[in-house]
Amino acid sequence: AANDRFVLEIPKVELHMHIEGTLTAELRWKFAQRNGIKLRIAEHGPELNSLEEAKAAMDLLRPDPSRVNNDEERFQFFEAYYEGFECLKTREDYYDLAMHYLEHAAKMNVRYCELFFDPQGHTSRGTSWAVMMEGFREAQKTAETRLNVKSAWIMCFLRDMSLDSAMEHYKAALPYRDIIVGVGLDSNEEDRPPVLFEEVFSLARRDGFKLTMHCDVDSKNTHEHIRQAASVVAGKGLDRIDHGMNAAEKQDLIELIQKRDLGMTICPWSYLRHTTYAELGPKIRTLYDAGIKICINSDDPAYMEDCWVLENLLLVKHLCGFNDKDIAVLAKNAINASWATPTVKNEIL
């Protein structure tokens, strides 16, 4: 619609996007063909023999608000998400994966992004750090020079793996720290509170990395996990919170986040796996009205009916009744919550 032009054209910053969450059926098919790999949607699922079969399998993973709070659905998402890693083998695959996102980002006027990647999911399949990081580095350079999209990487630890594994991967990443701006935590949150990773997050802060962490909306200990992320881990709490939307339900958490002036990365489409439309708008509105630095992001676009940051902004515009001024505030929040240098921040404005 004509009145959505402002949302399309405004310069954007995206801070919560899993590069492996952009593995669409088309990309999976392309990489599987190129590498001579059998494609499956889950480890023990049937082989997918055409692009059409791959698309149909991905379609079944879309959020469906009529099936909210379904544990089975969460399980299926993670199974498919990690199975997708199987088709990535070469430096060229990692380059193409990153470029696919960065080209789309350029079309939406994303000018800077901080992209998550999950190294443990790749090394456990025998991929070397050099293959991964040199592919990413090359894409980053190409995007900056040819597309005017700047980027940085956030290395996420898988919280359903051990602290030892996180520490090992942290150390292995240090040769690539020139392109890694921060450290995060993702994957299945059940029984995996933030404090379990205290040691690696404290070390990363001492080494100068920025810190963030997922606090998913369907976590059983959602409020306690948000409290730990905001005020306990690495001495005083992290630099940003990913999701954390349930803070809207607790005045003390709202005040804590306000006091620490933490940015929060909100991914509206993602929550439709666990939340109804009716709940979603008011929660986001509560955080926004409290003056918290929330920004809007896409999380795993390939799993969300191809909803990228633009579509997520349009969704909150509709659900929260945001006008163009509010959209500008959200875009500004993303710049302020980002870990870009002051020079880069100024260029975006």
Neighbours of 192 (CB within 10 A): 18
Helix (H) or strand (E) holding 111: strand 110-117
If binding is defined by CB under 5 A, does position 218 make contact with Zn ion?
Answer: no
If binding is defined by CB under 6 A, does position 184 make contact with ligand ADE?
Answer: no
First-last CA distance in the chain: 25
Nearer to Zn ion by Cβ, of 32 and 313: the residue is 313
Site for Zn ion in 21-80 (CB under 5 A): none
Q: Which does 216 bind (CB under 5 to 8 A by kind): Zn ion, ligand ADE, none?
A: ligand ADE
Q: Site map for ligand ADE, 6-45, x if CB under 6 A?
A: ------------x--x------------------------
**Structural contact between residues 136 and 92, judged by C-beta atoms closer than 8 angstroms:** no
Report, in Å, the least distance between residue 246 CB and ligand ADE.
14
Nearer to Zn ion by Cβ, of 218 and 299: the residue is 299
| Helix residue ranges per DSSP H, the chain | 5-9, 25-35, 51-59, 71-84, 91-107, 119-123, 129-142, 163-173, 198-206, 222-231, 251-260, 268-271, 277-289, 309-320, 324-337, 342-348
- CA–CA gap between residue 252 and residue 241 (Å, rounded): 16
- Integer-rounded Cα radius of gyration of the chain: 19
Residues 6+ apart with CB under 8 A from 121: 20, 82, 85, 158
- CA–CA gap between residue 243 and residue 245 (Å, rounded): 5
Nearer to ligand ADE by Cβ, of 127 and 322: the residue is 127
If binding is defined by CB under 6 A, does position 270 make contact with ligand ADE?
Answer: yes
Q: Which does 21 bind (CB under 5 to 8 A by kind): Zn ion, ligand ADE, none?
A: ligand ADE
If binding is defined by CB under 6 A, does position 268 make contact with ligand ADE?
Answer: no
Nearer to ligand ADE by Cβ, of 269 and 322: the residue is 269
| Both tokens assigned to 282 | 């008011």
Site for ligand ADE in 292-331 (CB under 6 A): 299-300
Report, in Å, the least distance between residue 184 CB and Zn ion.
8
Site for Zn ion in 278-317 (CB under 5 A): 299
Supply the DSSP symbol for 18.
B
Q: Which does 187 bind (CB under 5 to 8 A by kind): Zn ion, ligand ADE, none?
A: ligand ADE
Helix (H) or strand (E) holding 266: strand 263-266
Could you say which of 24, 120, 151, 187 contacts ligand ADE (CB under 6 A)? 187
Residue numbers at the binding site for ligand ADE (CB under 6 A):
18, 21, 81, 186-187, 214, 216, 270, 299-300
Footprint of Zn ion on this chain (CB under 5 A)?
Answer: 299
